[in-house]
Amino acid sequence: APQLPDILSPEFAADPYPAYAVMREREPLIWHEATRSYIVSRYEDVERIFKDKKSEFTTDNYDWQLEPVHGRTILQMSGREHAVRRALVAPAFRGSDLREKFLPVIERNSRELVDTFRAAGSADIVSDYATRFPVNVIADMLGLDKADHARFHGWYTAVIAFLGNLAGDPDVTAAGERTRVEFADYMIPVIKERREKPGDDLLSTLCAAEVDGVRMSDEDIKAFCSLLLAAGGETTDKAIAGILANLLTHPEQLAAVRADRSLIPAAFAETLRYTPPVHMIMRQSAVDVEVSGGTIPAGATVTCLIGAANRDERRFSHPDRFDIFRDDLSTTSAFSAAADHLAFALGRHFCVGALLAKAEVETGVNHLLDAMPDLRLADGFDPVEQGVFTRGPQSLPVRFTPVTA
């Protein structure tokens, strides 16, 4: 049997897809010593673990990962505690709140960023746009002072570095722990203020939310906002960079999308399948579970490889080809798309921000295409992805003829 590369090795980080293919084919359930977890790579198995119809899995494994930087968040919760928390936060991310309050925030923040480079004729989609837009949107949705956005961005950077600190760099760990304190020192007084003087913002909505007589404490709300930095910032950042990278490297599909913007949802869904921002999600088994002919013992950590499942040839035809016209992926809404690709997970923890992310990416792609009519990659540039747990283009230098409006 071919040697499986270590998922923490540089070869794997450079290109995980060949290793994913070997795992799916020969070792669909494999014990991985370095992460001390069982790795699952086939679509059918990852889908089943996410759906978790028989409540065989928990997210208790998130405690050690998230607690030091966020405190207790919705992701660590299970059962009734999770269901109540979910009901408290979810309405703010769909329906009239999304349409009426937050779509204008998305539009405004995207335009502000595009205006910073539209006259230049060149930009880096990653550093000038993608890494800024979703974090600005979250800060603005929360109703934070514009003057504080730079600090908010600093916390975002520290949190992302903390969560991605595979090598265990002690400086990164210390900065992450400091961020938890600074973030609380900043947010708790703002939360108290909004309780007294509510506005039209997300923070006020979270303060007022009530389900079965349960409301969120200041600490609960602060932890949720902290989670949004990673859950809503880094993921959407990589999705925007990803859709642009995929289209720019497939110019005929870019031309089709430019000519018919109703293809953007298909390009988004296919990007989430082909290059998902989150490649790995962990769960903990509550009981012994049979998967792909093997047994995961109770109490084990399980790594679900979204990046491998989304390229499973048992589920998708020509899975290694980016094809916005494929007919085995539904694209009409974030929710139906989720039944096909696993980038938002499935089941109880299915991404609460899926519709928000979709609105951000669709708005962003439209604005970028409008501002850059002959958008192309800088000469000779070939996009390189980086990251293991989360993954996306490192940089994306582009050229275009500036339009002076």
DSSP string for residues in 11-60? HHHH--HHHHHHHHHH-SEEEETTTTEEEE-SHHHHHHHHH-TT--EE-T
CA 301 to chain CA centroid, Å, is 21
Burial class from Cβ neighbours inside 10 Å (0-12, 13-18, 19+) for residue 388 reads middle
The answer to the question of residue 305 lying near ligand HEM (CB under 6 A) is: no
The CA distance from 353 to 134, in Å, is 11
Nearer to ligand HEM, 253 or 271 (CB): 271
Among 110, 236, 284, 285, binds ligand HEM (CB under 6 A): 236
Closer residue to ligand HEM, CB minimum distance, 114 or 337: 337
Q: Which is nearer to ligand HEM, 206 or 228 (CB)?
A: 228
Q: Where are the alpha helices (DSSP H) in 260-403?
A: 264-274, 306-309, 334-338, 354-371
> Which one of 257, 269, 281, 398 is in contact with ligand HEM (CB under 6 A)?
281
Of 138 and 158, CB closest to ligand HEM? 138
Residue 403 DSSP symbol: P
Q: Kindly identify the residues of this chain, within the stretch 22-61, that bind ligand HEM according to CB under 6 A.
A: 59
Which residues does 18 contact at the CB level (< 8 Å), separation at least 6? none
Write the DSSP symbol of residue 97: I
Q: Of 55 and 122, which has the nearer Cβ to ligand HEM? A: 55
Judged by CB under 6 A, the residue of 51, 86, 94, 111 near ligand HEM is 86
Strands (E), 230-321: 280-285, 289-291, 294-296, 301-305
Does position 345 bind ligand HEM by CB under 6 A?
yes
Question: How many angstroms separate the CA atoms of 363 and 180, rounded?
Answer: 32
The reply on whether position 393 binds ligand HEM by CB under 6 A is no
Q: List phi, psi (to 5°) of 168.
A: 70, 30
> Between residues 356 and 396, which has the closer beta carbon with respect to ligand HEM?
356
Q: Residue 190 has which token pair?
A: 């703002």
Between residues 257 and 281, which has the closer beta carbon with respect to ligand HEM? Answer: 281
369 contacts: CB under 8 Å, gap ≥ 6:
257, 258, 261, 375
Q: Which stretch binds ligand HEM (CB under 6 A): 163-171, 185-193, 214-222, 226-234?
A: 226-234
Q: Which stretch binds ligand HEM (CB under 6 A): 144-152, 206-214, 251-259, 344-352?
A: 344-352
Q: What is the DSSP letter of 302?
A: E
Nearer to ligand HEM, 238 or 326 (CB): 238
Q: Is 353 in the site for ligand HEM (CB under 6 A)?
A: yes
If one asks whether residue 278 binds ligand HEM (CB under 6 A), the answer comes out as yes
Binder of ligand HEM out of 29, 329, 357, 398 (CB under 6 A): 357
> Minimum distance from CB of 352 to ligand HEM (Å)?
4
Stretch that binds ligand HEM, among 15-23, 285-293, 316-324, 352-360 (CB under 6 A): 352-360
> Footprint of ligand HEM on this chain (CB under 6 A)?
59, 74-75, 86, 138, 227-228, 231-232, 235-236, 239, 277-278, 281, 343-345, 349, 351-353, 356-357
